[in-house]
Amino acid sequence: MVTATDGKEQRGAAKRFDWRGFDAYLFDIDGTLLHTRDGVHYESFLAAMEQLYGRKVGLEGIAVQGRTDPIILLDALEQAGICEAEGRRLLSAAISHMCAQVEARAHELRPELCEGVTKLLTELKRMGKLLGVTTGNVERIGWAKLKAAGIGEYFCFGSFSDRNETRIEIFRWGAEEARRRLGANAKVCFMGDTPADVAAAKACGFPVIAVATGIFPAEELAKGEPDMCIPDCETLWSYAR
C-alpha cells in the first residue's frame, strides 16, 4: 500500500502501484469528487418520509457516510418505528419522490469540488480513460450533483443505488459495465473516501485509491489497506510514473 500524508512519502512504494495504468476509473461521488453542504439531498429524505410514510423524522443517529440512499432511508424509517417490509413496500415511490425533490431544487445545489478533481478528470479524459461513477446515491440525484458541479460530462456511465442496493453490488456492476464497454481484460480502478469504498472494491477484487477528502483521515482509511492512500487527488501528480 502507498500512504502519503504530504505527497512526498514512500515514493519508492508509489512506483509499484502505477495509478496511471488503468483503462477505467470509477469514482465515488460524495467526499471523493465533491461536497454538498446545501442540504437539498438530505432534505429529500425527510420530504419522502413525510410524504410517503407520514413520518416527520430526521436522520439523526443514522449513519450516512459510505452508505447507500435506500439503506439510509430504510434505517431512518426503522428508527421511526416503520418495519423494513413496510419501508420496502413504498421504497421505489419514496426514491422517486426524493429524485423529484432534488431535481426541482437543482438550482439550490451548491456542490464544492474536492481538491484536484477537475485536473484529474481532465487529464484522465485526455489520456483516453473511461470514467464512471460508483455511488450510494440514486441515479437522478447523483447526476444532478455532478451536473451542478459542472463535471457530469466527464463520466460515460454510473452505477447507482437504485439498480443495486449495497455498495459491493454497486461497485461490481460498475466494474462489469466498464468491461462491457472496454473488453473483458480492461483494467479497472476505484476511488473513494470511506472505509466502505475500500472494502467494496477489495471485495470485488479491484484496486482502490483511498482519498482523505471526506470525513475519514488517511490513517483511518489506511487500515482497510487500499492500494494507495492519499490526502487529495492533487497529490497523485506528485508520484512519478
Q: Which residues bind Mg ion (CB under 5 A)?
A: 28, 30-31, 193
Q: d(Cα 239, Cα 241) in Å, to the nearest integer? A: 6
Nearer to Mg ion, 29 or 74 (CB): 29
Residue 138 φ/ψ, nearest 5 degrees: -80, 160
Nearer to Mg ion, 82 or 194 (CB): 194
Report in angstroms how near the CB of residue 131 gets to Mg ion at its nearest. 16
User: Residue 114 has what DSSP assignment?
Assistant: P
Q: State the CB neighbour count (10 A cutoff) for residue 241.
A: 8
Nearer to Mg ion, 87 or 224 (CB): 224
Q: d(Cα 102, Cα 237) in Å, to the nearest integer? A: 35
Report in angstroms how near the CB of residue 36 gets to Mg ion at its nearest. 11
Provide CB contacts within 8 A for 154, sequence distance 6+: 121, 122, 125, 131
Report in angstroms how near the CB of residue 196 gets to Mg ion at its nearest. 8
Report in angstroms how near the CB of residue 83 gets to Mg ion at its nearest. 28
Report in angstroms how near the CB of residue 91 gets to Mg ion at its nearest. 22
Quote the crossing angle between the two packed helices 91-104 and 40-53, to the nearest 10°: 140
Nearer to Mg ion, 44 or 213 (CB): 213
Nearer to Mg ion, 101 or 134 (CB): 134
Nearer to Mg ion, 91 or 221 (CB): 221
Report in angstroms how near the CB of residue 201 gets to Mg ion at its nearest. 12
> What separation, in Å, do the N-terminal and C-terminal C-alpha atoms of the chain show?
16
**Which residue type occupies 62?**
I
Provide CB contacts within 8 A for 132, sequence distance 6+: 24, 25, 26, 27, 155, 156, 157, 158, 159, 174, 177, 178
Collapsing DSSP states into helix, strand and coil, what is residue 22? coil
The closest residue (CB) to Mg ion is: 31
Nearer to Mg ion, 177 or 193 (CB): 193
201: closest CA among 162, 159, 172, 230?
172
Report in angstroms how near the CB of residue 212 gets to Mg ion at its nearest. 11
Residue 104 φ/ψ, nearest 5 degrees: -65, -25
